[in-house]
Amino acid sequence: MQSHESHAWLWWIPLLPLIGSAIAGALHLATLRARKNDPSAAAPGTLAPWIACAAMAAAFGLSVKGFFTLQELAPSARQLASTVHHWISVNYPARGEFAVDLSLLLDPLSSTMTLVVTGVGFLIHVYAAGYMKGDPGYGKFFAYLNLFVFAMLMLVLSSSLLGVFIGWEGVGLCSFLLIGFWYEKGWPAEAAQKAFVMNRVGDACFLIGSFLLVRLFGTLDMATIAGAIGRGPVELEPDVQLQVSLAALFLFGGACGKSAQFPLFTWLPDAMAGPTPVSALIHAATMVTSGIYLIVRLNPLFASSGWVLPVIGVVGALTALIGGSTALVQRDIKKVLAYSTVSQLGYMFLALGTGAWAAAVFHLVTHAFFKALLFLGAGSVIHGMHEEQDMHKMGGLRKYMPQTFVTFLAGSAALSGLPLMSGFFSKDEILAHAFAGGGLYWGLWIVGVLTAALTAYYTWRMVALTFFGEERFDRHHVHPHESPAVMTVPLMVLAVLSVVGGVLGLPPVLHAPHLLAEWLEPVTRDGSRILAERAGEHELSHTLEWILLGLGAAIALAFAHTGFHAHKRGTAQDETLTARRPALAAWLADAWTIDTTYKRVILLPLRLVSFVVAVVVDQFAIDGTVNGIGASARDVAQWTRRSATGSLAGYAMWMGAGAVVISLVWMWS
Amino acid sequence: MNPQDLLTLFDAAAMTALAPLIALALGTLAVLACGIIPGGSVVRPIAFLASLAAAAAYCVKTLVDGAPATLVLDGTFQSGPTTAVWGLVFIASTLFAWLYSAHYYEEDAPFKGEHDVLMLATPIGMMLMAGAHDLLVFFIGLELLSIPLYSLAAFRRDRIRSIEAGLKYFLLGAFAAACFLYGAALLYATTGSLSLDVFADPTRRAVILDQPLALVGVALIASSVFFKVSVFPFHLWVPDVYEGSPTPVTALMETGTKAAAFAFLLNALAMLPNSTAGSIALIAVITMAAGNFGALAQTDVKRMLAYSGIAHAGTLLLGVAGSLNGDPARGGAIEAALYYMAAYVATAGGAFGLLALLERENKGTTTLESLKGLAQRRPVVAAALTLFMLSLGGIPATGGFLGKYLVFSVAVRAELIPYAILGVLLSVVALGYYLRVIIAMYMQSPAEGSVVPESRPTPFATTLASVVCAALVIGLGILPRWFLEVM
């Protein structure tokens, strides 16, 4: 049903940010050149945000155009494609042709992602224009940020896994560059390196998964793969089933790296070393959701993968719990939000594990709204507090920054799932699906509900510590102030979206259409059908749904109330916990000591092995051998060199001898 | 011969086939005339470029028409898409060499007119060689290429090394030409023809190649071609001649001449008995070893690149051997050779061109020592030279890698696997000296007390040629499909 008409304009969606990036980069270089001799010279780099924001606005406009073009089509025909180049084509005599095209595909899923990336991305760009003002790397920052958006759009728009991988590596690179943006400070550079290295583990899994898919299907085109599984038999041959399961497992491994899931999540909290707009854009709203996108894109594969789906659910629930519990005790406001992001991403994977594809995307969208808002709000606070991130040194800020405060409240309400907020509906839908799954999923449901309670608690603890209570900063030196309009207006837009975003996916009991699920239905149809045929449908009765909704609302309200009241008077509650249960507090603060365990179990032995390899194996054995070979090569070389004596007669003799020998040999053979 | 016969001989098809050669010949005459007419030195570059452009346009036209190869001029000359691509390779090679020569000469600059005439004559010879379907036509092409090159090699008349290079090249070239003529005479004695047609029919070919006299003839012809492409043991002249010749001329010899000789070799492959595949593969591997180990010992970059050119000829010869041994993919060797040479023209052309630039700056020296610290002095030149070195070494994402890949796949498909493995291992040796250049530029600083040359502004022609070369190297490296489809 793929429309054969080519939509080359699709390429402008990623290309515009790429062009913006190039211009912003050039402006930055021009600034450097201008400032080389005269530090007070006018900086062309100050134009960079205009360019970058214009590129984002235009890309968003095109995404909207794409959305409406899709909407005019019949649901099953909602696919716009554009192929510009048959990139790779290899003929294997035995297996047929393996071809990869450079092509883009816009369908309901990539359209949703594109709208989020360009829409939320645009707001964050605008905000960053205010936040990064005065930074010496102003132009460079926007060059990186636009480059990131380009890579992210390639990731969500490419129709082949190779294209996705290019975007996947591209966002990884930009994430590295932006986490380490302030590399002169030292620790951001280390955090960037950690993020990069941990992502490589996931990337390797991604590659292995792709290879397995090539082996199975002979192609990397995701629509072809999904279609082949969707049309095939529901029960697979055992060996095919094993390969499908392994491919799905490895791709999920890739998703774990990029989307910060257990056991590869520890880079995300460290990634907060980057400027706050980066945390909002890359480490909350867009890049970290790539893994969810990938799984939804290949949902028939995952639906057919058998035991992999429960594994995804368990990993998601476990990550949600680890993230949620760790966020309880953090003092750094950005760390709270970082662990919260880990936890919410865990929810999305929990949804995927139950086969609730649309619910995962729904939570992805609402999370993009409210978590971007919270990060930007936190950035506004940090900005107003002269780069202070410790909540124990804040307090009572609501009267200094009223706009930030109100919008932050909206974001917190959505994150904690207070009734009728966007996060309430999306989280509830995930929990309802887990509840309906039965068996193992019951256990996951319990973990999910527990995490929901933790979420409400830490969110309102954060609100209370930051905006309420006594002012715990040095009022002689710190003068909190509201941020400029360029920063607060994006906050307001996001606040509205966080509050009303729930209308995208209202639960069935309200007898309203689930807009997002209907929109995504052409993409998720095959996966859902396979799951239904394999495991049977799970429908909840309306009464049960009401009960679950009510339970969710009650838990959110109760724990939000507790969290707020326990902390609104200051840091006493935190100190009590540390005093009474020091071991527990330390264990929680260190994220269940997973990162420390890595250091001890992986990093330390690795360093030891590296040392042995470097000194004994490399310097002694290998260098010795290689140098030996090299030295003998050089001896041979000297000998060869001597053959070029410069004597003409000698050369002619060699030639003559050569002709004679060749003649003789050929006559013989 | 009456005029009517002439008209039948030079019919429309023949004129189409000869159009690029005629364009170049007229251009040569025009450039020559520019030496006499007043103000000619201004018109000369225009005439030169126009003639190359016209020839290229005719080649592109043949390529676009896509008509299968045809024999014209009484079956002595072949024209088709393959010769058209070869033609483009020759034209590119001439163009790069000429662009780099624009600001190369100092005391010989007044004779640039003669230089350009000689240079423009060489692609005519190359095209005749590539399209020759008759041994005499090939010989005419060979001489049309060689004689200008002999003079060009000795073009810097007051430099003893240049004179030496020209003389050595001429004497050994004459020796090789004599070999060729003798071989052709022996073949004529056994077959009564100089046309390659006699090898077209398999039974007749088998009969011919069964006669010892014919085999000696073939071996002598092959030897003289081996001399032109510089494979073992006909390669010894290369370092001396390449080092002594003016650097742009070296670039032309290294790229264009080699390509033309390989074009003929692949065209006349039927002449060689299939049983020679093993010995040719052996020669190829020995050549790679001689080239790579020879290059390893050099301290002069120009001489090092000369040895590296020998190694590259060996690599390409392995593809020829693969084709002889029965490569299942039809035309695989020709495709590989075209790709390899296209990448090589851009890579080696660019490398020698930049070397020519640095040679002038460093007062005539091209030692590894003189490159130290270049990355600081001239970051762009260093980066471009790095790209060319990586492509010569066959690092992925450059044209050099894919060329090597294609050639070695021919050998592997033709079951010359041990030779292919040896070849790949020898390519590793090659990295030893390519990387040394990069190390010198980026990681070492000039020795204490050495005079750091003043950087002059890079001439436009050099910049243009380098940008085109670099773009081709990268393009051939990442968009192989596009280029293969064009071919």
* Number of residues that this document lists for chain B: 487
Residues of B in contact with A654 (CB under 8 A): 233-234, 236
Nearest partner of B130 among B221, B225, B48, B237, judged by Cα: B225
Mark yes or no for CB contact B233/A658 under 8 Å. yes
Is B236 in contact with A650 (Cβ distance < 8 A)?
A: yes
Mean pLDDT of chain A: 87
Measured distance CA(A591)–CA(A581) in Å, rounded:
16
Query: d(Cα A125, Cα A145) in Å, to the nearest integer?
Result: 8
Q: What is the structure's pLDDT at B327?
A: 73
Residue-wise pLDDT tens digits, B14-35: 888 899 999 999 999 999 999 8
Residue B253 per-residue DSSP state: I
Q: Chain B neighbours among A 239-268 (CB < 8 Å)? A: none
Average pLDDT over every residue of A425-441: 88
Q: What residues of chain B lie within 8 A of the CB of A669, using their CB? A: 273, 275-276, 278-279
Q: What pLDDT does B6 receive?
A: 79
Rg (CA), chain A: 28
**DSSP 3-state assignment of A339?**
helix
**pLDDT of B334:** 86
CB atoms within 10 A of CB A3: 12
pLDDT at residue number B474: 92
Examine the pLDDT at B290 and tell me if it is beyond 80: yes
Mutate to test the interface with B, among A29, A651, A668 (most CBs of B within 10 A): A651
Counted across chains A and B, CB pairs separated by less than 8 A come out at 98
Which of A88, A633, A652 is the closest to B429 by Cβ?
A: A633
pLDDT at A122: 95
Mean of all residue pLDDT scores within chain B: 89
- What's CA A387's distance to the chain center, in Å? 26
**C-alpha–C-alpha distance, residues B151 and B346, integer Å:** 24
Chain A 619-658, residues with CB within 8 Å of chain B CB atoms: 630, 633-634, 636-641, 643-644, 646, 648, 650-652, 654-658
Task: Tell me which residue range forms the domain holding B467.
Answer: 273-487
Residue B356 lies in a domain: yes
- Compute the distance between CA of residue A156 and CA of residue B107 in angstroms, rounded to an integer: 62
Residue A48 has pLDDT above 50, yes or no: yes
CA B249 to mean position of chain CA atoms: 11
**First-last CA distance in chain B:** 39
Confidence of residue A2 (pLDDT cuts 50, 70, 90): very low
**CA–CA distance, A214 with A221 (Å, rounded to integer):** 9
pLDDT band at A186 (very low <50, low <70, confident <90, very high): confident
What are the residues facing B195 on neighbouring strands?
B134
Contacts of B183 (CB under 8 A, 6+ apart): B216, B217, B218, B219, B220, B221, B222, B223, B224
Identify whether the C-beta of residue A414 lies closer than 8 Å to the C-beta of residue A539.
no
User: Does residue B311 contact residue B285 with C-beta atoms inside 8 Å?
Assistant: no
Q: Which residues of A touch B169 (CB under 8 A)?
A: none
- Across residues A50-76, what is the average pLDDT? 92
Contact indicator for A415, A501 with CB cutoff of 8 Å:
no
Contact A147, A18 (CB under 8 A): yes
Weakest-pLDDT range from A90-104, B130-144, B346-360: A90-104
B432 and A654 within 8 Å at the Cβ level: the answer is: no
Other Cβ atoms closer than 10 A to B448: 5
Of B212, B29, B215, the residue nearest B124 (C-alpha): B29
In a domain, B316, yes or no: yes
Burial class (CB in 10 A: 0-12, 13-18, 19+), A94: exposed
**Residues β-bridged to residue A81:** A6, A105
Which helix (H) or strand (E) covers residue A80, if one does? Answer: strand A80-92
Q: What are B134's strand-pairing partners?
A: B195
The pLDDT, as a whole number, for residue A5 is: 63
Please check whether residue B386 is in contact with residue B466, taking contact to mean a CB–CB distance below 8 angstroms: no
Q: Looking at the domain assignment, is residue B245 inside a domain?
A: no
Give phi and psi for A527, each to the nearest 5: -60, -45
pLDDT greater than 60 at residue B393: yes
- Give domain status of residue B477, yes or no: yes
Q: Is residue B48 part of a domain?
A: no
Q: Report pLDDT digits (tens) over A351-378.
A: 999 988 999 999 999 999 999 999 999 9
Grouping H, G, I as helix, E, B as strand and the rest as coil, residue A83 is strand
- Higher-confidence residue: A455 or A396? A455
| Percent of chain A surpassing pLDDT 90 | 43
Is the pLDDT at A509 greater than 80, yes or no?
no
Does A537 have pLDDT greater than 70? no
3-state secondary structure of A67: helix
pLDDT given for residue A16 in this prediction: 94
Are A655 and B233 in contact (CB < 8 Å)?
A: yes
Length of chain A: 669
Residues of chain A in contact with residue B240, where contact means CB-CB under 8 angstroms, are 644, 646
Indicate the SS3 state at residue B132.
strand
The DSSP output letter for A599 is I
Residue A633 pLDDT exceeds 80? no
CB contact under 8 A, B294 and A657: no
Q: B327 vs A451, which has greater pLDDT?
A: A451
Is residue B237 in some structural domain?
no
Q: What's the pLDDT band for B73 if we cut at 50, 70, 90?
A: confident
Handedness of CA A347, A352, A355, A356 (dihedral sign): positive
- Tokens 């992502």, residue? A199
CA distance A55 to A48: 11
A88 close to B (CB below 8 A): yes
Of A643, A648, A666, the CB nearest to B276: A666
Whether the full predicted model's pTM is greater than 0.80, yes or no, is no
Separation CA A497–CA A600 (nearest Å): 44
Report DSSP state, residue A221: B
Query: Quick one: pLDDT at residue A570?
Result: 80
Residue A542 and residue A436 in contact, taking contact as beta carbons nearer than 8 Å = no
Which tokens hold the place of A364?
A: 């992805």
What is the secondary structure of B72-129 as a DSSP string?
A: ETTTTEEESHHHHHHHHHHHHHHHHHHHHHTTT-STTGGGHHHHHHHHHHHHHHHHHH
Q: Say which residue, A509 or A659, is predicted with more confidence.
A: A659
**A637 pLDDT higher than 80:** no
Note whether residue B46 is domain-resident.
Answer: no
Q: What is the pLDDT of residues B216-274, one digit of tens each?
A: 999 999 999 999 999 988 988 999 899 999 999 999 999 999 999 999 998 888 888 88
Q: Is A582 on the interface with B (CB under 8 A)?
A: no
Residue-wise pLDDT for A609-620, tens only, equals 878 877 777 777
With H, G, I as helix, E, B as strand and everything else as coil, classify residue A581: coil
Q: Region B140-158: what's the mean pLDDT? A: 92
What is the distance of C-alpha B264 from the center of its chain?
A: 12
Contact, B64 vs B56, CB < 8 A? no
| Sequence-separated (6 or more) residues with CB below 8 Å from residue B432 | A630, A633, B296
Q: How far apart are CA B297 and CA B294, in angstroms?
A: 6
Distance CA B72, CA B117 (A): 28
Q: What is the mean pLDDT of residues A120-147?
A: 91
Q: Is A665 on the interface with B (CB under 8 A)?
A: yes
Contact indicator for A148, A167 with CB cutoff of 8 Å: no
Name the residue of chain B whose CA is nearest to A668's CA: B212
Measured CA to CA in angstroms, residue A497 lies from A371, A405, B298 at distances of 11, 16, 69
Task: Tell me the backbone φ, ψ of residue A99, rounded to 5 degrees.
Answer: -130, 145
Write the residue in A638, A652, A667 that is nearest to B175 by C-beta: A652
Overall average pLDDT of the A49-58 stretch: 93
The shortest CB-CB distance from B296 to any of A86, A633, A652 is to A633
pLDDT(A261) > 60: yes
Query: Nearest-CA neighbor of A375 among A490, A270, A452, A496?
Result: A490
Mean pLDDT of B362-385: 87
CA distance A104 to chain B (A): 18
Query: Predicted confidence band at A448 (pLDDT cuts at 50, 70, 90)?
Result: very high
pLDDT at res. A640: 66
Residue B79 β-bridge partners: B70
For the ranges A196-200, A446-450, A465-469, the maximum mean pLDDT occurs at: A446-450
Sort strands A80-92 and A96-106 into parallel, antiparallel or unpaired.
antiparallel
Please indicate whether residue B435 or residue A5 has the higher confidence score (pLDDT): B435
**Three-state secondary structure string covering B423-453:** HHHHHHHHHHHHHHHHHHHHHCCCCCCCCCC
Q: Give the residue carrying structure tokens 């085999």.
A: B215
Least CB–CB distance from B223: residue in A643, A652, A659? A659
The mean pLDDT of A474-483, rounded to a whole number, is 83
pLDDT for A1 beyond 60: no
For B212, the closest chain A residue by CA position comes to A667
Name the nearest CA neighbour of A161 among A369, A48, A6, A301: A301
Contact between B350 and B471 under an 8 Å Cβ cutoff? The reply is no
Residue A4 has pLDDT above 60, yes or no: no
* pLDDT for res A109: 93
Residues B437-456, mean pLDDT to the nearest whole number: 80
Q: Exposed (0-12), middle (13-18) or buried (19+): which is A54, by Cβ within 10 Å?
A: middle
The ipTM assigned to this model is: 0.84
Q: How many helices and strands (H and E) does chain B possess?
A: 21, 2
Residue B40 is predicted with a pLDDT of 82
Q: Most B CBs within 10 Å: which of A632, A643, A648, as the mutation test of the B interface?
A: A648
Total domains in chain B come to 1
Q: Is the pLDDT of residue A3 over 50?
A: no
Tell whether A669 lies on the interface with B, counting CB pairs under 8 A: yes
Q: Assess whether pLDDT exceeds 70 at residue A645.
A: no
Is A634 close to B296, i.e. CB distance below 8 A? yes
CA distance B80 to chain A (A): 25
A655–B234 CB contact, under 8 Å: yes
For A583-603, write each residue's pLDDT tens digit: 888 888 888 888 888 888 887
Alpha-carbon separation of residue A461 from A283, A558, B180 (angstroms): 22, 13, 93
Interface mutation vs chain A, best among B481, B482, B484, B486, most A CBs within 10 Å: B481
Whether residue B50 is contained in a domain is answered as: no
User: What is the mean pLDDT of the segment spanning B408-437?
Assistant: 89
State the average pLDDT over residues A137-155: 93
B236–A667: do the CB atoms touch at under 8 Å? no
In this prediction, what percent of chain B has a pLDDT beyond 90? 51
Residue B1 has what pLDDT? Answer: 64
Of A300 and A473, more confident: A300
Rounded to an integer, the average pLDDT of A471-485 is 84
> Which residue, among A500, A513, A494, A366, has the nearest Cα to A430 in the 3D structure?
A366
Question: What is the average per-residue pLDDT within A642-659?
Answer: 80
